[in-house]
A and B are shown apart, each in its own frame.
Chain A
Amino acid sequence: MFRETALNVRDKKVQGLFRLLFLTMTLLLILPVLVILGMLIYKGGPVLSIDFLFTAPTDGMTAGGVFPALLGTVWLVGVALLVSVPIGIAAAIYLSEYASDNWFTRIINLAIINLAGVPSIVHALFGVGAFVVFFGFGTSILAASLTLAIMTLPVVIVSTRESLMAVPQAFREACWSMGATRWQTIRRVVLPNSVSGILTGVILEVSRTTGETAPIMFTGAVFFTPFLPQGVFDQTMALSLHLFVVATQVPGVPDELPYGVALVLIGMVLLMNSISIAFRMYLRGRKKW
């Protein structure tokens, strides 16, 4: 029969101690999230209403709602997604399914990693130089969304590639041995099996794009405009910039207004994320392996 020795007892204690330590760290991780959300809901909750979401700011931005900014953010994120998702997925498919592992591919991979590390303000200045001035789009939704798209491309590419690579090689080989071409394999086997992972990348992109301020403030978002955007060549207000403006630039803003704007911003990200996550879970449920 097994008897605990003194050594076993000590080992057990140490084990328990580490478990506790790691648990504490994990809880510490959630703490800021809870505090931030709690603060926002406590302070910004009272100003939230349907009216707040669907009216324009009034009285020198000290009253009224956020509608032009909300709509502007939807435009910016939407156009950025339309550009970056197809390009990003196509690039990831090439890198994971077609490219062989040579110096050229490795340089491309390095470039993607570096692109992901470029600070957003540098992307912003690039956007000004390239899209606003050189291509002559002016400060517009198009210029801002293209800047955002370039900034988030690495996220889409990397996450798509990871999820393509997670599809077992045996699946592809089985398909090829049935006489399918590479494209048929990708279309019928690889993509359907990796779609939930690809969606994760898109979720990440939506969240990041919604919150970005630097890349849009020089390229397409304005402090104030009385018009709602009607096309990609219009300028627009945006939620993230609007939050910066009401929090730091405008005197006489009631305290709860910036919190309300922040809550709308976070709410928008959470809403988009949960739609995608629900969709992802649905797809994963259909997975056959």
Chain B
Amino acid sequence: MKLSRLTLPVVCLSAALLSSAVVARTEIQNKGSDTLVNVAQAWAEAYQTVEPDVAVAVSGGGSGTGIAAMINGTVDIANASRQIKSKESDMAAKNGIEPLEHIVGYDALAVYLHGDNPANTMTIEQLRDIYGRGGKATRWTDLGIEVPGCKNQQIVVVSRQNNSGTYAYFKDAVLGKKGKYRQGTLDMHGSKDVVDLVEKTPCAIGYSGLAYATDHVKLACIAASDPATCVSPSPATASDSSYPIARPLFMYTNGEPQGHIKQYLDWVMSDTGQCIIQEKGYAPVRRVSCQ
């Protein structure tokens, strides 16, 4: 009896062991930003063909999660869509870890609107009125916009959870360093969730990486002040920094990268790697020509 109870797991385990040929291999731990996670995944997937013996294991969770893991020494590369805070580098230093910053691409933070929303442009000031604490706009009509299908014209303000790099960057770029988000925002736990929600909600406005754009949502043309000079988000306007809310994307390593990690990062920065990030809807660090 005791034997048969163990049979199932044992059979499963031996099947698992047999199904993968035993080879010498190296793992690179890569964790962090939800904005970068899909690019990181695409890089990891493509890197198999470059170095079949090196596996890049990718996890998301948010920039804060990645940096925290770097501080604890449990990852080789932390992905972040914001810079490391001085408090975080102090904590890392205490553990004998020196996070070294690498810019691997740029992201244009798009402002998403429902397809039926008649508005095409948004100024930073309007965004501040919508998102900021004490902001004037709680209804679309406060901005002189009437959205069909939106009951009461009440704006549904879609934001991100507070350990997200996107949350932190949008706050700095739109609300200012001292600015605070208004209360009652819908805080989503993923870049894609924001777009999904806006797509289904006529009253909604949300911000998320440009790479998450779909055909069913509208991307606002963003103006620093004068609506006539607005710039649409695109990889090109992100890398030449004409788009007002674009940000660098980082990978952090512990000190100068060595060995496999260095090779991987070099490959990420190569034309092949940069073409992958461009293909995913982000901006490469330099102009690359891809097929």
A and B: interacting chains: yes
The 3 residue pairs across chains A and B that have the minimum distance between CB atoms? A225-B57, A228-B20, A227-B55
Asked whether, in the complex, the Cβ of B37 is within 8 Å of the Cβ of A249, the reply is: yes
Q: What is the distance, in angstroms, from A142's C-beta to the closest C-beta of chain B? A: 13
- B interface vs A, CB < 8 Å? 1, 4-6, 8-10, 12-13, 15-17, 19-20, 22, 25, 27, 29, 34, 37-38, 40-42, 44-45, 47-48, 55-61, 72, 74, 189-193, 195-196, 211-212, 214, 280
Provide the residues of chain B in CB contact with A249, threshold 8 Å: 34, 37-38, 60, 190-192
Asked whether, in the complex, the Cβ of A226 is within 8 Å of the Cβ of B45, the reply is: yes
Asked whether, in the complex, the Cβ of A251 is within 8 Å of the Cβ of B5, the reply is: no
Option from A79, A81, A224 in Cβ contact (under 8 Å) with B41: A224
Once A248-B193, A251-B38 are accepted as A-B contacts, the answer to whether A222 and B59 lie under 8 Å apart by CB is yes
Asked whether, in the complex, the Cβ of B1 is within 8 Å of the Cβ of A250, the reply is: no
Provide the residues of chain A in CB contact with B195, threshold 8 Å: 251
Q: How far does the alpha carbon of A234 sit from the alpha carbon of B48 in the complex, in Å? A: 17
Q: How far does the alpha carbon of A74 sit from the alpha carbon of B19 in the complex, in Å? A: 12
Interface readout for A64-80 with B: 1 if CB under 8 Å, 0 if not? Answer: 00000001001101110
Closest B residue to A192 by beta carbon equals B1
A269 interface contact, C-beta 8 A: no
Interface size on A, residues (CB 8 A): 41
Asked whether, in the complex, the Cβ of B5 is within 8 Å of the Cβ of A224, the reply is: no
Asked whether, in the complex, the Cβ of B19 is within 8 Å of the Cβ of A228, the reply is: yes
Provide the residues of chain A in CB contact with B12, threshold 8 Å: 74-75, 77-78
A243 interface contact, C-beta 8 A: no
Q: What is the distance, in angstroms, from B110's C-beta to the closest C-beta of chain A? A: 12
Once A60-B41, A74-B12, A138-B74 are accepted as A-B contacts, the answer to whether A235 and B27 lie under 8 Å apart by CB is yes
A25 interface contact, C-beta 8 A: no
Closest B residue to A74 by beta carbon equals B12
Once A75-B16, A85-B5, A251-B214 are accepted as A-B contacts, the answer to whether A139 and B42 lie under 8 Å apart by CB is no
Provide the residues of chain A in CB contact with B13, threshold 8 Å: 74-75, 78-79, 82
Q: How far does the alpha carbon of A85 sit from the alpha carbon of B9 in the complex, in Å? A: 11
Provide the residues of chain A in CB contact with B22, threshold 8 Å: 230
Asked whether, in the complex, the Cβ of B59 is within 8 Å of the Cβ of A223, the reply is: yes
